[in-house]
Structure 1
Amino acid sequence: MQRKIRVIVADDHPVAREGIGAYLRRDRRIDLVGMASDANSLASLLSDHSCDFVFSDIGMQGMNGESNSISFLRRLAREAPRPHIVAVTMIAHAQMLAGLMNLGVEGIVDKRDALESLTEAINAITRGRRFASLHAYELLSATLPDVPARAGTLSAREWDVFRMYASGMPIPEIADYFNRSSKTVATQRRSAMRKLGLDSESELIAYAQQIGLT
């Protein structure tokens, strides 16, 4: 009898996590061995259970207070042996998605696409191919070759500044809150945008909306 495909699902939104898990359980080939709500619980699951695939949101909290799980997924992608990694995300930013692929993520499933994309990702990756669901594929296909791929992890302070700025707080007010100069806070905001591959205020606003900050 063929061994089942062992899968772990990680997402900080309970509805998304349970929905993905419920769909995967319907596939008799799949053994859902665990679900995590952040990078710390994902790391704990991986230490206790061997698995073949990790389906992970990238916007959930990372290790040691990091703003997202990208740094953890980067480290996981460097391990050997390791599970196949599929990013499941609402982020519609081509540079970010291309950066994930460069880090070693083998599949990207846009949450706006049908749940069937989850099993399509498994089928493609087990055949040695990379996978992008419809919305992700359209974005990646439109990426210009001279545009750098970026998928960064912000420091705790960069994340705080980015979050407050995205919520509409002016830089002088953020500076007063942290007892720092406006120049320092502006530099941290630019650094955060650069790491995330955001080149304009409109891209910043769109990104903040996609990850639920606004």
Structure 2
Amino acid sequence: MKITVIVADDHPIVREGLRAVLHSDDGVEVVGECGTGEEAVRLAAELRPNVVLMDLRMPGMGGTAATEQITAAGSAAVLVLTTYDTDSEITRAVAAGALGYLLKDGARHELAAAVRAAARGETVLAATVAAKLAVHVRRGRPELSPREREVLDAVARGLSNPDISRELYISEATVKSHVGRIFVKLDVNDRTAAVLTAIARGLIESPWE
């Protein structure tokens, strides 16, 4: 089964280029494209793709707001692809629910691999973005969304992704996306480290007390 993708970017030439790059991978199919955040939200709800490639700065609703709506609805995993790598842009996108953050000047051959990883619920970050995000996380207490706290609390209680999916009435893919974002925000690589770090920072209560 092919991984389905929507490309959201307000520049037609950029959309055409991304479509051409993804078309070269037999396992990926672009099922829609649009030039505004509003259209991205509508298409994601209508087509239910695996991944939305999201530009941040578009007319009307920006990419960050669109990302928040798409991920909150569980419509798709969002992979930001933009020219902006400022700390504020990165942290806002991650806080909105983006599972990945890539720069447009990155190697094009890496794009399909990033899309595949995002479809699996894995975090995908450009090296420079990962470094900046890690510094931001170390400087202060990360902000977890209410849903991310619910997921992390369930992880702390030993629930598996299927268990969390049933308990919170969300898809397993959405659970994976939340877990991936939690790992990014807490700067950890596994579930145990995420739970221990969150308890140490007062983000969740210990289930063992």
TM-score (norm 2): 0.61
**Cα gap change, 1:5 to 1:99, in 2 (>3 Å):** same
One of 55, 69, 72 as aligned partner of 1:75:
69
Pairs within 5 Å for 1:94-133: 94-133=87-126
Contact kept, 8 Å, 2:41 with 2:70, in 1: the verdict is no
Q: Closer, same or farther in 2 for the Cα pair 1:31/1:144, shift >3 Å? A: closer
Hey, what does 1:5 align to over in structure 2? 3
| Corresponding pairs, count | 143
What's 1:146 paired with? 139
Cα pair 1:62 1:69 within 8 Å, conserved: no
CA positional deviation for 1:127: 4.1
Preserved CA contact (<8 Å) 1:98 1:149 = no
1:90 is aligned to 2:83: yes
Classify the secondary structure of the residue corresponding to 1:76: helix
SS at match of 1:91: coil
User: For the structure 1 residues 76 and 48, does the alpha-carbon distance in structure 2 shift closer, same or farther, using more than 3 Å as the test?
Assistant: closer
2:38 corresponds to 1:44? no
| Maintained 8 Å contact 1:55/1:88 | yes
1:94-126: CA deviations, max 9, x gaps?
A: 232123112211001111111133223223334
Matched with 1:24 is 22
Residue 99 of structure 2 aligns to which amino acid in structure 1?
Answer: E
- Segments ≥4 residues shifted beyond 4 Å: 147-150
Distance 1:93 1:21, change over 3 A: same
User: Do 1:53 and 1:83's aligned partners in 2 also have CA atoms closer than 8 Å?
Assistant: yes
The answer to whether the 8 Å contact 1:7/1:52 transfers is yes
8 Å Cα contact 1:11/1:56 also seen in 2? yes
Residues 128-170 of structure 1, C-alpha deviations (whole Å, 9 max, x = no match): 42110233223324436225879xxxxxxxxxxxxxxxxxxxx
Unmatched 5+ stretches in structure 1: 151-214
Greater helix percent: which structure? 2
Q: Which amino acid aligns with 1:5?
A: I
Q: Give the SS at the match of 2:25.
A: coil
CA–CA separation in structure 1 for the residues paired with 2:5 and 2:17: 14
RMSD (Å), alpha carbons: 2.2
User: Contact 2:37/2:65 (CA < 8 Å) preserved in 1?
Assistant: no
**CA separation in 1, counterparts of 2:142 and 2:124?**
17
TM-score under structure 1 length normalisation: 0.60
How many percent identity over aligned positions? 24
User: What SS does structure 2 have at the residue aligned with 1:62?
Assistant: coil
